[in-house]
Structure 1
Amino acid sequence: MITIKQIAFGNSSEAYIQSGFTNGLNIISSSENHVGKTLIMQAMMYALGSAPMFPASFPAEDYVFLIDLEINGNRSLSILRSGNTFIIKEGDTVTPIESVHDFDRYWSNHIFELPRIIKDGKVHIVSTDLFEQMAFMPQAKRNTARIYGGRYKKDDFMEMIYAQAGLVGKTLNDGELTEIKNKKQKLETRKKELSKKSKKLSKMGSALTAISPTADREETDRLIAELEKLGDEITELKKQKNRFLTRKVKNEGVLCQLRSLNNSLDVDSLECLVCGSREIGYRMNGSKFIFDITTSDMRSQIINSLKERISEQENIAKELDLEIREKQTRFNKITDSRNITLEDIFVYREDYISLEDIDKELTLIADELSNVDRIIKTDKQISAKNKVDRKNLKDKIVAKMNKIHRKLGNNDGSPDYSDLFTTEGKPYSGSEATEFLMARMYALVDCLHHQLPILVDSFRAEELSTGREEKMLPLFKDLENQVILTATLKEQEIGKYWGIEWINNIDLSGYTPNKLLSSKYCAEFANEIERFGVKLMQL
């Protein structure tokens, strides 16, 4: 179980620190809007690896974010984030991480394993950004028909839910399977129409006519499209491999410098020619903090972290190299079996430049058909039992959502929920959207037993009635997960949570609107940052 103990964010000029969270139900409240409740919640999610969701007026890139966690009651772990760089501190061990992708890998390997889903025909480890959407509801842009962010879709969210329950794989329901087969039929019809036009316009004049006596335009199109697709894939894989090797070389350079520094400090000392300081710093690219590597202890930790990073980058490069070789072997087999050269391909493309529009559409259709066939094939590979288990899990989650819906007072004849998302054309809005999303969050915890804290910004938004609030809070109080909510209270409601034993009320009343961060926290914030062996850069 992950429990948030403290959140802090700031820079050398201003900062804010909030501690005092309990393992149970916490409500951050105020009598005014815009005092910073939303900033606190967004800072928590950002520090946990999510994509930034801050308002445009808040330049997150100018600040450093620190979150202290307790894991399963026996591990203390802290995360420091600046832009896309992170530092993880557990005990005396400090681990620098240079990208969000690497942070996701660290999370999956060292905190809690992230689910693996099938995306674009490949096994894909979901990001913390998607994973944490099971347990986070922002104040703005609530939408019951889709997830937050642009990289993933709601189908990916559902795949993650199934994977979390051990039901990995891509399956289609009857409606989806019918739809995809209809799409395939339309694509094949369109392909035949274009092929007829192409044959009428084509005059085979290139070296590719010698491939076989029965070679025709359609076969040649397919062949060239396949070779070009393989060529593009090989090029992209080589780019990825080069990126990892470049990062590896840079890290090796830093490692070499640190080792050299170790040797020189054993016999002499380094001193700044400008200020005379003997303090030495190491900064990760793009971050707002600098590691103090004056001590051998910190240098050793950075060196060990770099070694691990270099080893991982080398392994990824090797995996990509194997994939490149496999695709090159396929490319060579096709060209060798038909005695085609790259010159032949070039001539072919020149000969048929006038048919470029038809060729492009045929290539796109071939790609789409390939994708459709892959989806259908993957679907067939899912066992019948897996499909049944998936349906049962989804039905169980929706049933739990409706149970919560009824407990909150669904006696007005409104229909029950039928899915984890509404349709794009009929999303819920206002308090109905809040109820739907709260019911879904509760159901996911109850059915999947995930370990994330529940974070809801402005849970009373859109005039959620007092009666429904009084029914909702005890439900979330009984969860094993930590729950953190925010609320803006009316004047007559101030103090309504005081004295309720099972609610930890963090009251921000009295804070000046839009002035949450201040210089009074700077010294304490700098001390918190120095736990990681780093110092803030001066603005």
Structure 2
Amino acid sequence: MNDVILTEILISDFQEKTARKFYFNEGINIITSSENHVGKSSLIKSIYYTLGAEVNFDDSWNKLSKIYSVKFRLGNQNYQVVRYTKKFAVLQNENLLLLTDDVSHELAKKLEEIFDFGIYLPNKNNQKVELAPPVFSYMPYYIDQDLGWSEIYNSFNNLGQYKKDDRLKSLYYHLGIYNKKTIKLMSDKDIVNQELKKLESESEKIQTVIETLSSEINNIVPASNIEELERNLTISKNKIDELVKVVALKRNEIQKLEGLSQGHKFQLALIEKKEKISINEKSVKNEFLCPICGYRLNNEIFKIVEINHGLITKKYATEQISFQISKLEEDLKNKKIEYISLMKNLKKEEDLSIDDKSNYENYLTQRGLEKTINSLNIKYDNNLTQRNELVEKIKDINKELKDLPTKENVESIYKDFVIQNLLSLGAWESSYEEKIGILKPIKAQGTLLNKIILAQEVALFQTIENLDLKITKFPFVIDSPRGNEASKLSSYEILKLIINIDSLKQIIISTVDFENYRKDLNYTGKIEITFLNDKRKLLNEKMYEENVSEIESLFELFSENRDS
């Protein structure tokens, strides 16, 4: 069984020392009176307030001075939720499961586990899908006297953390279109789609790079092999090294000859300044140093002249020195010719070396590009494989989603029930035909408003029953369904529609003068009726005394765990 059945509610005011306990049965529960202001609405509001929703209590009702306890049955398990201000205790068979003041997370999670039902909605601020507070599980199951009859599904407070359209989409969970599995599948699908888009973008980039590199590699002349290039480079380098050595030697020879030639020219200039040069032992020993610059005169020239003539004359010295200069100039000329030739050969070898290096670099570039392209092709193939796997995942998810009720089918069933209910209430108009939709409720004003709201909410339950959904259902709690009805017939039609909802195991109705309609309703099932007569005396001292032990234990529950 997936129906939550309320069994009991206890409300106690610790300041006034008053309390009230009500018992509920499976089926139809009527809370009635002969007049208003006896506490029917406060009792009705307290049910889902205790279970974690926020409602609009009357100003005279001090909710903060009261402790609330609701007991319910789900399957063969008994549960209890206790609320004191913003603190909650959840018990199973009198064993404490949770004590918290966190409704949106801790209480919501625990009740989701108990009910095996939860609603996930995108937060308005960050669009992150999250488990919604418990109130959204109760939203279609409660019609408030003050708020619920002015706009459909408008009976609870503090729903603003979600957009109105998303709040209405919570109805899809009650209709089996969405559920925890659906949300996980849809979330998984979104993640897979994001991964797929990322891979597709990456694939496009890889293709662009491959095309660019392929174009680049086509402009490079391929080399034969790396070994040949390296060998040519080594040979070229050795040739250049040898030529550099020869060029250096040749340059040294030239520099030496130029030095000798300059020396002889200096001697010649010196001789021309003197009439006669005598040579003796002292001058020979001193190697004919120039007294001005310290240059050594060529000793050999003076020795030759001395042997042949014994006397050095200016004319003879001049002839000999000029001859030496002429011979040196001839040698110097030849050496320079050789040097120029060597430099040309060196330049040629260097140019050849540069070409080899260029080929070598081209080869390396080509080899590098080919390696890169091969690597990118492998990456592209892996990318393609991953994309194909993700596409298959999406197909599998879509197949699972396809097995769930489709929106189109559900909408069609729902629409038929809305029309049927409006007809039974005498509120049908042909203009509603195109306006009926789960997420776009019919809007109306005036005397038909109650009937139109009720027709749509009841159609929701009828659709759930028609689809045979194994989904958790909650008690349908309705406060003052006849509030705006001027005629007894209209009141009768409304009550008849409500008590004949076969799809729900428990219905709780608060209404005035129910006994005036009971006989005409011809309802054969059991109806549990509670009469309230004392004005503004829903809670009383006598009930407090009868339940003081339980009330005190509930207060102790929060007191003992205050620091936990």
For the superposition of Structure 1 and Structure 2, which TM-score range results when normalised by the shorter chain? 0.5 to 0.7
Structure 1 residue 10 displacement after superposition: 1.5
Distance 1:500 1:436 in 2: 23
Change (3 A) 1:56 1:383: farther
CA offsets, 1:278-335, max 9 Å, x none?
xxxxxxxxxxxxxxxxxxxxxxxxxxxxxxxxxxxxxxxxxxxxxxxxxxxxxxxxxx
Change (3 A) 1:140 1:430: farther
- The residue identity in structure 2 corresponding to 1:152 is Y
Structure 1 residue 127 displacement after superposition: 1.3
Give yes or no for the alignment of 1:144 onto 2:151. Answer: yes
- The residue identity in structure 2 corresponding to 1:521 is M
Aligned residue among 403, 413, 417 for 1:400? 417
Distance 2:117 2:498 in 1: 30
Aligned residue among 472, 478, 500 for 1:456? 478
Q: CA contact under 8 A between 1:27 and 1:503: conserved in structure 2?
A: no
Identical pairs, percent: 20
CA offsets, 1:27-76, max 9 Å, x none?
1111111100000111101111111321222121111001111112x111
CA offsets, 1:91-123, max 9 Å, x none?
241134222131111101233321223444322
Q: CA contact under 8 A between 1:397 and 1:444: conserved in structure 2?
A: yes
5+ residue gaps, structure 1: 171-381
5+ residue gaps, structure 2: 185-396, 465-470, 560-564
Distance 1:462 1:395 in 2: 30
Change (3 A) 1:498 1:528: farther
Distance 2:4 2:68 in 1: 18
Normalising by structure 2, we get a TM-score of 0.51
Q: CA contact under 8 A between 1:497 and 1:505: conserved in structure 2?
A: no
Bigger radius of gyration among the two: 2
Q: CA contact under 8 A between 2:20 and 2:540: conserved in structure 1?
A: no
161-170 vs 82-91, which deviates more? 161-170
Structure 1 residue 77 displacement after superposition: 0.8
Structure 1 residue 497 displacement after superposition: 8.6
Q: Which residue of 1 aligns with 2:379?
A: none
Give yes or no for the alignment of 1:106 onto 2:110. Answer: yes
CA offsets, 1:165-202, max 9 Å, x none?
143469xxxxxxxxxxxxxxxxxxxxxxxxxxxxxxxx
Q: Which residue of 1 aligns with 2:78?
A: 76
Distance 1:18 1:421 in 2: 38
Aligned residue among 426, 432, 444 for 1:409? 426
Structure 1 residue 421 displacement after superposition: 5.8
Aligned residue among 29, 39, 59 for 1:36? 39
- The residue identity in structure 1 corresponding to 2:99 is I
Change (3 A) 1:498 1:421: closer
- The residue identity in structure 2 corresponding to 1:141 is L
Partner SS, residue 108 of structure 1: helix
Partner SS, residue 41 of structure 1: helix
Distance 1:14 1:499 in 2: 42
Aligned residue among 120, 130, 133 for 1:127? 133
Q: Which residue of 2 aligns with 1:508?
A: 531
Distance 2:81 2:454 in 1: 27
- The residue identity in structure 2 corresponding to 1:419 is G
Change (3 A) 1:163 1:92: closer
Q: Which residue of 2 aligns with 1:441?
A: 457
Q: Which residue of 1 aligns with 2:30?
A: 27
- The residue identity in structure 1 corresponding to 2:111 is W
- The residue identity in structure 2 corresponding to 1:502 is G
Q: CA contact under 8 A between 2:11 and 2:21: conserved in structure 1?
A: no
Q: Which residue of 1 aligns with 2:172?
A: 162
Structure 1 residue 26 displacement after superposition: 1.2
- The residue identity in structure 2 corresponding to 1:459 is P
Structure 1 residue 23 displacement after superposition: 0.4
Q: CA contact under 8 A between 2:144 and 2:478: conserved in structure 1?
A: yes
Change (3 A) 1:110 1:507: closer
User: Equivalences for 1:126-275 in 2 at 5 Å?
Assistant: 126-142=132-148, 143-144=150-151, 147=154, 148-149=156-157, 150-164=160-174, 165-167=176-178, 168=182
Change (3 A) 1:64 1:395: same
Normalising by structure 1, we get a TM-score of 0.53
- The residue identity in structure 2 corresponding to 1:98 is T
Distance 1:504 1:457 in 2: 17
Q: CA contact under 8 A between 2:32 and 2:512: conserved in structure 1?
A: yes
